C-alpha cells in the first residue's frame, strides 16, 4: 500500500464528522524514515511497517494482530501517541486527529490522495489552517521523538 498525505492545523471542527475512535500508537523502530509500530484503533490491534520516500509519500504494510501480540509489542516502547480520530464525509480520505496526553492541544486535519499530482493540486477547505506536513508535528513518527518542551514550542508556531 502506498500512502500520499498532506496535513494541516485544524482551525475549526467541520460539521460532517463521524463519531471519534480512540487510538494509541507505539513506536518499536522510528529511524531515518523507517517505522515499525503497533497500535490500538478502537477495539482492534495492528502492526505497521512504514518507509517514507519523501514528505508526502510512504510505503506502508499493515495487518491486524491480537490484543496479546499488541501488549507484548508495546512492552518496551516509550509512551504512546494518543488521539481521537474522526472521519470527514464529503472529502475522500479526510480525517481529523485530536491529540491527548503529552500532545494535548494538537488538532490536525489529514487528507490522503491517489497521486502526488492530486496532493499538490489540492485546495484546502476553509476549516483548516497552515500546512504542517513537513513539520515535526505533522507526522506521528516525528512527534513521538519530541520532548514535551519541544512539542509545545513547535505547536506554538501554528497557534
pLDDT tens digits, one per residue of 9-57: 999 999 999 999 999 999 999 998 899 999 999 999 999 999 988 888 8
Beta carbons of 5 and 113 less than 8 angstroms apart: yes
Q: Quick one: what percent of the chain has pLDDT higher than 70?
A: 100
**Cα–Cα distance, 126 to 95 (Å, whole number):** 15
Cell of 22: 480512540
CATH topology of domain 2-156: Hypothetical Protein Pfu-838710-001 (2.40.320)
Phi-psi domain of 92 (left: phi exceeds 0; alpha: psi -120 through 50; beta: other): beta
Q: CB under 8 Å to 110, separation ≥6 — which residues?
A: 5, 6, 7, 8, 94, 95, 96, 97
Q: Which three cell numbers stand for residue 29?
A: 523502530
The string of pLDDT tens digits covering residues 125-154 is: 999 999 999 999 999 999 999 999 999 999
Computed over every residue of the chain, the mean pLDDT equals 94
Cα of first residue to Cα of last residue in the chain, in angstroms, is 33
Check residue 55 and give its pLDDT.
81
Amino acid at each position: 500500500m502506498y500512502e500520499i498525505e498532506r496535513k494541516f492545523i485544524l482551525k475549526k471542527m467541520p460539521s460532517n464528522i463521524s463519531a471519534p475512535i480512540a487510538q494509541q500508537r507505539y513506536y518499536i523502530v522510528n529511524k531515518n524514515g523507517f517505522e515499525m509500530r503497533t497500535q490500538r484503533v478502537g477495539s482492534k490491534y495492528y502492526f505497521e511497517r512504514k518507509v517514507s520516500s519523501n514528505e508526502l509519500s510512504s510505503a506502508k504494510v499493515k495487518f491486524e494482530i491480537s490484543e496479546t501480540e499488541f501488549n507484548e509489542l508495546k512492552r518496551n516502547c516509550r509512551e504512546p501517541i494518543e488521539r481521537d480520530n474522526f472521519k470527514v464525509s464529503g472529502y475522500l480520505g479526510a480525517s481529523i486527529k485530536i491529540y491527548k496526553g503529552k500532545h494535548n492541544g494538537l488538532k490536525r486535519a489529514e487528507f490522503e490522495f491517489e497521486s502526488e499530482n492530486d496532493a499538490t493540486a489540492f485546495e484546502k477547505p476553509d476549516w483548516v489552517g497552515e500546512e504542517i506536513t513537513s513539520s515535526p508535528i505533522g507526522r506521528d513518527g516525528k512527534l513521538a521523538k519530541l520532548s514535551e518542551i519541544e512539542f509545545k514550542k513547535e505547536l506554538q508556531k501554528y497557534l
